[in-house]
Amino acid sequence: MSDNELHYDNQVIHFLEDMWGDGFLSPGGAEEATLVVEGLDLRGKTVLDIGSGSGAIAVLLAGTLGAKKVIGIDVEEPVVNEARQRAAAAGLSDRIDIQLVEPGPFPFPENSFDIVYSKDSIIHIPDKETLSRDVYRVLRPGGWFAASDWLISHDNTPSPEMQDYITAEDLDFAMASPGRYTRALADVGFSQISLRNRNPWYREVAAGELNRLTGPERSKLEQAHGETFIADQVSTWSKMMPVLKSGEHCPHHIRGQKPS
Ligand SMILES: C[S@@+](CC[C@H](N)C(=O)[O-])C[C@H]1O[C@@H](n2cnc3c(N)ncnc32)[C@H](O)[C@@H]1O
C-alpha cells in the first residue's frame, strides 16, 4: 500500500496513541482489550490478532495474558513496523510474529489457532460473511472468536448524522449491525454466539476524550500534531457524540465458538 493510501500513517498513529495509550489505536487500553477475552484462558494458546495495529495488544496477549504464540496481521506497513518494535522492546519477538498481509483470506491453513482475537479492526473489512467463514476455517475445533468492533445499530441506510460522522472519520468504515454479525457467525457454524453492547461505556469515555481535545490539553496536542489536524479531530469527535448518544454507533464485544 503506498503512503497516500494509508489510513494509519505516522501522524494518525501518534495522535491515536496520545488519546488511547502507547501502542493502542482503539479506546480503553489494556483493560478494555482484556475484557474482550474475559473468561477465556489464553495460557499456552496460539492466537491470531486481526488488525494488530501498533502492537500493544499483541504484547498484552503474549505477556500479561500468557498466550504461547501471537500472530498479528495488518495491512499497513507503518503500524506493522511499530508493532514489531514494540514486541522486540518487550522481549517477546520469539512469541509475537507480526505479518504484513493483503486484505482478503488469511494466509494460514485450517485449524491453525485456538483463539482468533480482534480489537476494532473488522470495521475495515466490509464482507463480514466471508470474514466469519475464514475465521471459522483457521480456528481449531473448540476454539473461540473473541472480538471488539464498531457496529451500527440497524441494517437500514445510516441516519444523516451517522453518515456525516462516517464521512468525517475518512477511514473506510464498513459498519455492520449486531443482527448481521450474529447471522454471519451462525451461518458458518459458530455456536455460543454472544454480543455485548459497549455503547454505554464508550459514550462516557468519548465525552471525556472530546473534553481533552477541547480543554486545557488542546494546546499541547496542537503543538504535537498541528492546529488543523486537531481541529479536524474535534470536528470528528463532535460528530460522533450524537450518534453515540442515540445508540446508532454501538461498539460491541462479539464471541463465538467453533464446536469441538
Ligand atoms: C482502529 S485500528 C485498531 C488496531 C489495534 N487492534 C488496536 O486496537 O490498537 C484498526 C487496524 O486494522 C487494520 N486493518 C484494516 N484493514 C485490515 C484488514 N483487511 N486486515 C487486517 N487488518 C486491517 C488497520 O491497518 C489498523 O491497524
CA distance 54 to 85: 9
Q: Give the pLDDT mean for 100-124.
A: 97
pLDDT classification of 5: cutoffs 50, 70, 90: confident
Q: Is 61 within 8 Å of 147 (Cβ atoms)?
A: no
Residue-level pLDDT at 3: 54
pLDDT at 1 over 90: no
pLDDT of residue 4: 55
Query: What does the pLDDT read at residue 177?
Result: 98
Q: Residue 80 Cα, ligand 1 centroid: separation in angstroms? A: 10
- Mean pLDDT over the full length of the chain: 96
| Domains present along the chain, CATH in parentheses | 3-155+173-198 (3.40.50.150)
pLDDT band per the 50, 70, 90 thresholds, residue 170: confident
Could you identify the atom of ligand 1 that is nearest to the CA of residue 119?
6
pLDDT 10s digits, 140-161? 999 999 999 999 999 999 999 9
Q: For position 64, what pLDDT does the model report?
A: 97
- Tens digit of each residue's pLDDT (9 = 90 or more) over 36-74: 999 999 999 999 999 999 999 999 999 999 999 999 999
Q: What pLDDT shows up at residue 20?
A: 97
What spacing in Å lies between the alpha carbon of 131 and ligand 1's midpoint? 14
CA of 142 to the centre of ligand 1 (A): 26
Q: Single out the residue of 56, 11, 1, 9 nearest to residue 33, CA to CA.
A: 56
Q: What is the pLDDT of residues 203-243, one digit of tens each?
A: 999 999 999 999 999 999 999 999 999 999 999 999 999 99
Determine the atom of ligand 1 nearest the C-alpha atom of 23: 9
Ligand 1 neighbours (beta carbon < 6 A): 8, 24-26, 50-53, 57, 73-76, 79, 103, 119-121, 124-125
In DSSP terms, 46 is beta-bridged to 69
Distance 207 CA to ligand 1 centre (A): 23
Give Cα separations from 11 to 70, 79, 188 (angstroms). Answer: 26, 11, 39
**Cα 259 from Cα 162, distance rounded (Å):** 37
Look at ligand 1, atom 5, and give the residue with the nearest C-alpha.
Answer: 53
pLDDT higher than 70, residue 174:
yes
pLDDT at 17 over 70: yes
